[in-house]
Each structure stands twice: as structure tokens, then as C-alpha cells.
Chains A and B, each alone.
Chain A
């Protein structure tokens, strides 16, 4: 499965990429990373990933808007929102726009592995 990582934080992007080295996730391959929603849309159109991790609070375009645009272009894409925004309304908004999962920051390696496995098994 092709994965794209979208987050304005370089340490979060590289952390997610490192966690993907877990042998249980060897079916996932990172094909690109983006620092904001605009960059993410451009890359998404070129690569059409199967799986996206999506931050919400980003410059240029936020993750909810970005999710909506991606799903409009590729409805089968699995988008996992990874955000610090812990209010229920934000999670619901993202799910309504087509995200398939929501993981709160801060997260442990195990929580992210579990989230990927759950998302890709359904």
C-alpha cells in the first residue's frame, strides 16, 4: 500500500516514517511527504496513495479541507487524521469529510501501529 505523510512538523513526519519500519507494517511503503495542505494536494494528484496520515493544524490549507479535496478526487483513499486537537467536534468534522480514523497526539509507536493495522484491515 502506498502511504503519504502530511504534517507541518518535520519530526512528526520522520517519526511516522520510522514507525513504519515495524515488520507488521511491511505492506506499507511511504511514497511522499508534505508540509501543508497545498503541497499535499499536488503530491496526492501525482501519486494517488492508498493511505494518508493527515495533520489538521497546518499553514496554507488545514487538514479538514485537505481531506475533503482528497476524498473528492479518490474516495477509496484511507485517511488517518493525526492531530493534537482533542475536542470531539474536530474529529467528527474530519470523519464527516471522509477521514476513516483519528489518532490524538501525542501518540506512542504502538498506538500508531495499531491504528494503521485497524485502518488497513477494514
Chain B
């Protein structure tokens, strides 16, 4: 298994920026993209989704955000229904969009699953397995969110 490189990570940063760019009035800020090493664990927020990769890659791509961020996004999308089911659906769709957009760089041999979603505690992500996974910290309006890229090349 080979670790991914900086160029690979940049494709996810681009995908995150691209997702939020549809809400033109407020740009997303990428606060940091750092390597998770040793005892440091990536942080999670209230809602988390992940995409499982297969094909020439293995691992997961996570997106985690507070309820308030997702509710705000749905408001901007004029979605009238903002119950937990819709919030989780939105978190899953964001993870799907970020991973799908990254295939522009990785190609079709990076196969992606449908999203899995869950209500999580604000805390730490324990399921990261790659010795070199990356966290991309995002700020949009007053909210923070994170994307964890825990993937390896076969």
C-alpha cells in the first residue's frame, strides 16, 4: 500500500472549495490541511458521513460538520425540511460530492461507495487506519467542519 501525496490532497481541497462555491456570496476558508500522525486524532462534529473507496484505492473519506452549518446550507438551498434525516442526507451528499469531484484527479479506478452517515459526538475520529491520513479544516461563515482523507493507493 502506498500513501497518497500532496497533489492528491490538493484535489480534495479543490473539491471542498468547489462544493461551497455554489453559495457564491460567502467563500469557504481552508484553515489547514495537515497530516495525522501518532496519537493525534482528527476532530469530529455532530454529523459525520463517509465514503468507502475501492478499486485502485482503499480507505475512507469523511466529512463532519455541526448541525448548524448543515441547516444553514439547507436554508440557502431553499430546502424547507431541516429535520435530522435531511441533515444527514445533506452530510452524505457533501461527502459524495467531494469524493466524486476528486475523481477528476484520481480517475475512475478510484471507486466510491454510496455515503454512510451518522450522528456523532463532537470529539475525535477513532476509525482512521492509514498511517498517513490528512485532515482538511474548513471554515464557512461562522462554522467549522472537517474533511478527513484516510486513503491508500493499492
- Residue ranges of A at the interface with B (Cβ–Cβ < 8 Å): 8-12, 14-15, 18, 57-59, 83-87, 89-90, 104-108
Contact = CB atoms under 8 A, between A and B. Distances in A.
A87 B103 CA distance: 5
Contacts of A15: 77-79
Most buried by B among A11, A83, A86, A108: A11
Given A8-B114, A14-B79, A58-B114, A87 B107 contact: yes
Contacts, number: 67
Nearest to A55: B96
Interface of B: 18-19, 21-22, 74, 77-79, 81, 85-86, 89-90, 92-93, 96-104, 106-108, 112-114
A84 B96 contact: yes
B86 A10 contact: yes
Q: Is the interface of A mostly helix, strand, loop or mixed?
A: loop
A10 B18 contact: no
A83 B100 contact: yes
